[in-house]
Amino acid sequence: MIQSTEILNNARKRAVILLSGGMDSATCLAIAAKDNYECYAISFNYGQRHEVELACAKRLAYVYGAIKHLVIDVDMRRIGGSALTADIDVPKHRAIDPAVDVQAADIPITYVPARNTVFLSFALSWAETLKASDIFIGVNALDYSGYPDCRPEYIAAFEQMARLATAEPALKSLNIQTPLATMRKKDIVNEGLRVGVDFRLTHTCYDPVESPEVENSEDSASPTVMACGTCDACSLRQKGFLEAGIDDPIAYA
Amino acid sequence: MIQSTEILNNARKRAVILLSGGMDSATCLAIAAKDNYECYAISFNYGQRHEVELACAKRLAYVYGAIKHLVIDVDMRRIGGSALTADIDVPKHRAIDPAVDVQAADIPITYVPARNTVFLSFALSWAETLKASDIFIGVNALDYSGYPDCRPEYIAAFEQMARLATAEPALKSLNIQTPLATMRKKDIVNEGLRVGVDFRLTHTCYDPVESPEVENSEDSASPTVMACGTCDACSLRQKGFLEAGIDDPIAYA
């Protein structure tokens, strides 16, 4: 009458979760875990300015019980074209107009060419190896900073392409899951709280600064860098917490 | 009355060419160059067994006048699942049935999960940075070893996705060009000769062996490794040259 853990595990569907270490992907991971997926987290070291994200991703993968956390090196600086990877200043103090959060006026310089396509392609490759049925990505079509590769029509086209790309029968019906697609940032804060995200473990800023006090803290969740508080990503995050009426637990410069 | 070279160059369309160093991608590059594209060649160091390909790609990029040759490191061994990147034996002496070259019976173990998707994604990222209008890839739907990501319906789906993925207006009508899509291997040999491909500079084998005589050769095109002559890639190449009635100029073990 004993059922082995392996047999029970085999009944669980597998999902690959794109995990940047930010609040959106952390919420995606927690949703997938709560939905009883076997979670395989994938992060990218792509020459981003904000390497602290990877430290956050590692902790999040552990906390939410990912079976494995894979960090792939992809040097997108060789290709260039973005303030996040090249020697271009990250824009600061851009007004985030609360009345205009459906679509940003233009594509910001922090856009990395085809970044989500590259990341989803690696996730697809791993999904095929794992015979995973789902890929989770925390894109958001509302408070989305104007990136073209966050739109639902883009995600649908990637899913269609992915189903044709692979040799694995399990992937012929692959789902690209975007549970945050139609949420505003404040809804993501609330959804995160619902599924138990510890927002202290997440990081969002495009241009973090060294923490002025790098003392040994008793709180292991404290980061040694602080968010700048003025880039687009910080502005969107702060607006989300403000509108949700929740205190943002991370430190700002 | 003097027109600057720069102005003349600006009139040329730009193309990113996926260049593996094999005969198919070499032919693609030569076609794009003959069609007067400004060619930007991209190759991948992905933990393949056959690194000699990259040396061939470098020489081909130079010979056919690519403006730039970018080699991207992507460690697909971390993901695994293929004899080309993992510790799995490359199959040898598989019969290539001349009557059955429309589709191989099953997916061979040399298939790298989502490889073309990963490679095309990097090409797309670079194309956006360059404002290139075209991406050339030497996939072939007939003598294609059974890889799902070589089929026309896959390429069409990638193109559709790519047009939605990018912020660059020039890429809204991006073309993924597959000039070899409907050719048999013998046709590719003939097409290569038509556009001036020096097949001595190309390499195809999945599992090359050290050349027994590593003497200083006066012929700089001579490789220091030889093709195995028995893997699927070698078998297809040999069949192509045989049917075209042309001598294959590379060395076999």
The count of domains in chain B is 1
- Provide the pLDDT confidence category of residue B212 given band limits of 50, 70 and 90: low
Asked whether B118 and A122 are in contact (CB, 8 A), the reply is yes
DSSP letter at A133 equals S
pLDDT of the residue at A104: 39
Helices (H) and strands (E) in chain A, counts: 7, 7
- Provide the pLDDT confidence category of residue B143 given band limits of 50, 70 and 90: low
CATH number, domain of B119, equals 3.40.50.620
pLDDT of the residue at B186: 93
pLDDT of the residue at A143: 58
Instruction: Name which of A114, A147, A166 is nearest B113 (Cβ-Cβ).
Output: A166
pLDDT digits (tens, 9 = 90+) for B57-70: 999 999 999 999 99
Looking at per-residue pLDDT, the higher value among B28 and A75 belongs to B28
- Within-domain flag for A235: no
Q: Say if the Cβ atoms of A75 and B73 lie within 8 Å.
A: yes
Please check whether residue B162 touches A, CB under 8 A. Answer: yes
- Short-list A27, A102, A21, A106, CA closest to A58: A21
- Within-domain flag for A217: no
pLDDT digits (tens, 9 = 90+) for A118-140: 999 999 999 998 999 999 999 98
Question: What are the contacts of A98-105 at 24+ separation with CB within 8 A?
Answer: A98/A239, A101/A142, A101/A143, A101/A184, A102/A142, A103/A144, A103/A146, A104/A144, A104/A145, A104/A146, A105/A146
Asked whether B42 and B126 are in contact (CB, 8 A), the reply is yes
Cβ pairs A/B, distance under 8 A: 141
pLDDT digits (tens, 9 = 90+) for A219-228: 444 456 788 8
- Within-domain flag for A203: no
Q: Say if the Cβ atoms of A129 and B80 lie within 8 Å.
A: yes
- Within-domain flag for B251: no
Asked whether A27 and A51 are in contact (CB, 8 A), the reply is no
Q: Say if the Cβ atoms of A117 and B162 lie within 8 Å.
A: yes
Residues of B in contact with A78 (CB under 8 A): 70, 72
Is the pLDDT at A251 greater than 60? The verdict is yes
Which residues, numbered 175 to 234 in chain B, qualify as contacts with chain A under a Cβ-Cβ cut-off of 8 Å?
A: none
pLDDT of the residue at A117: 95
Highest mean pLDDT among A88-97, A136-145, A203-212, B16-25: B16-25
- Within-domain flag for A220: no
Beta-carbon contacts of residue A35 (< 8 Å; ≥ 6 apart): none
CA distance B124 to chain A (A): 7
Rounded-to-integer distance, Cα A218 and Cα B221, Å: 64
- Within-domain flag for A227: no
Instruction: Name which of B79, B147, B164 is nearest A157 (Cβ-Cβ).
Output: B164
Mean of the pLDDT values across residues B48-62? 84
Looking at per-residue pLDDT, the higher value among A45 and B92 belongs to A45
DSSP notation for chain B:
-PPPHHHHHHTSPEEEEE--SSHHHHHHHHHHHHTTPEEEEEEEE-S-S-THHHHHHHHHHHHTT-SEEEEEEB-GGGT--STTTSS-PPPBS----TT--SS-SS--TTPPTTHHHHHHHHHHHHHHHHT-SEEE----SSS-TT-GGGSHHHHHHHHHHHHHH-S-GGGGG-EEE-TTTT--HHHHHHHHHHTT--GGG----SS-EE-S-----S-TT--SEEB-S-BHHHHHHHHHHHHHT----S-B-
Is the pLDDT at B17 greater than 60? The verdict is yes
End-to-end CA distance of chain B: 58
Instruction: Name which of B70, B113, B125 is nearest A114 (Cβ-Cβ).
Output: B125
pLDDT digits (tens, 9 = 90+) for A17-67: 999 999 999 999 999 999 999 999 999 987 766 678 888 999 999 999 999
Please check whether residue A157 touches B, CB under 8 A. Answer: yes
pLDDT of the residue at B123: 96
SS (H, E, C) B173-221: HCEEECCCCCCCHHHHHHHHHHCCCCHHHCCCCCCCEECCCCCCCCCCC
Is the pLDDT at A116 greater than 80? The verdict is yes
Q: What percent of chain A has pLDDT over 90?
A: 48
pLDDT of the residue at A82: 57
Q: What is the rounded average pLDDT for all residues in chain B?
A: 81
- Within-domain flag for A53: yes
Which residues, numbered 120 to 149 in chain B, qualify as contacts with chain A under a Cβ-Cβ cut-off of 8 Å?
A: 120-122, 124-126, 128-129, 147-149
pLDDT digits (tens, 9 = 90+) for B149-197: 889 999 999 999 999 998 788 888 999 999 999 999 999 999 999 999 9
pLDDT of the residue at A59: 95
Is the pLDDT at B125 greater than 50? The verdict is yes
Please check whether residue B252 touches A, CB under 8 A. Answer: no
Could you tell me which chain B residue has the CA closest to the CA of A73?
Answer: B74
Amino acid at B216: N
Rounded-to-integer distance, Cα A191 and Cα A100, Å: 22
Mean of the pLDDT values across residues B203-227? 65
Q: CB A13: neighbour CB atoms within 10 A?
A: 15
Interface confidence (ipTM) of the complex: 0.81
Q: Say if the Cβ atoms of B113 and A126 lie within 8 Å.
A: yes
- Within-domain flag for B82: yes
Please check whether residue A165 touches B, CB under 8 A. Answer: yes
Host H or E run for residue A210: strand A209-210
DSSP letter at A145 equals T
Looking at per-residue pLDDT, the higher value among A75 and A177 belongs to A177
Mean of the pLDDT values across residues B125-140? 93
What is the domain range of residue A55?
5-90+99-197
Beta-carbon contacts of residue B220 (< 8 Å; ≥ 6 apart): none
Is the pLDDT at A155 greater than 70? The verdict is yes
CA distance A82 to chain B (A): 9
Q: What percent of chain A has pLDDT over 70?
A: 75
Residues of B in contact with A112 (CB under 8 A): 125
Could you tell me the pTM of the whole model? 0.83
Which residues, numbered 167 to 186 in chain A, qualify as contacts with chain B under a Cβ-Cβ cut-off of 8 Å?
A: 167-168
